[in-house]
Amino acid sequence: MKKALLVIDYTVDFVAIDGALTCGEPGIALEEYITELTTSYLEKQLPVFVINDLHEKNDPYHPESSLFPAHNIRGTAGRNLYGKLQDLYETHTDDMIWMDKTRYSAFAGTNLDIQLRSRGINEIHLTGVCTDICILHTAVDAYNLGYKIFVHEGGVASFNPIGHDWALSHFTNTLGATVIPK
């Protein structure tokens, strides 16, 4: 099986203490794991997709506008990758595939499925935030598209601990995913 790493929404707005919609310490605690995992994929020349939320300033038509504070606004520093992952991306921009998304799932409204299938990838490894929102919705779509799913417990977090734990259970018990323990 060919595999790819998906790093979802590991941005300043979602992770930094002063981020616009931060999961804070749980997200910050992922930095080493995600950076080391990304580095290992790059060293093995395996595809790494960094897939990040993109919103427009004051967009009254986006469904998230009424649910969450403005976040990951086009052209803001909040869209930068968090910490060491940003540094890694800057030195490997040709090796890491940046993709913007405007919905929770990395598959919704993007060409991710086409990008994965064109590379013969049928196994995806999920990391990033938030476990019970964007990681979950990406995993559900991946399940519906027939991908083999791995979720790295040491590489996902949420601002909602109950939702995080529920999602980890859901990945295994409902989607047949493999949760790789910390």
> pLDDT over 70 for what percent of the chain?
99
> pLDDT over 90 for what percent of the chain?
88
pTM, two decimal places: 0.95
Structural domains of the chain in order of their starting residue, each with its CATH number = 2-180 (3.40.50.850)
CA distance 176 to 13: 31
Query: Token digits for 82?
Result: 């968090």
* pLDDT tens digits along 149-169: 999 999 999 999 999 999 999
Say yes or no to pLDDT of 69 above 80: no
pLDDT band at 71 (very low <50, low <70, confident <90, very high): confident
CA distance 123 to 121: 6
Q: What is the mean pLDDT of residues 15-26?
A: 96
116 and 3 Cβ atoms separated by less than 8 Å: no
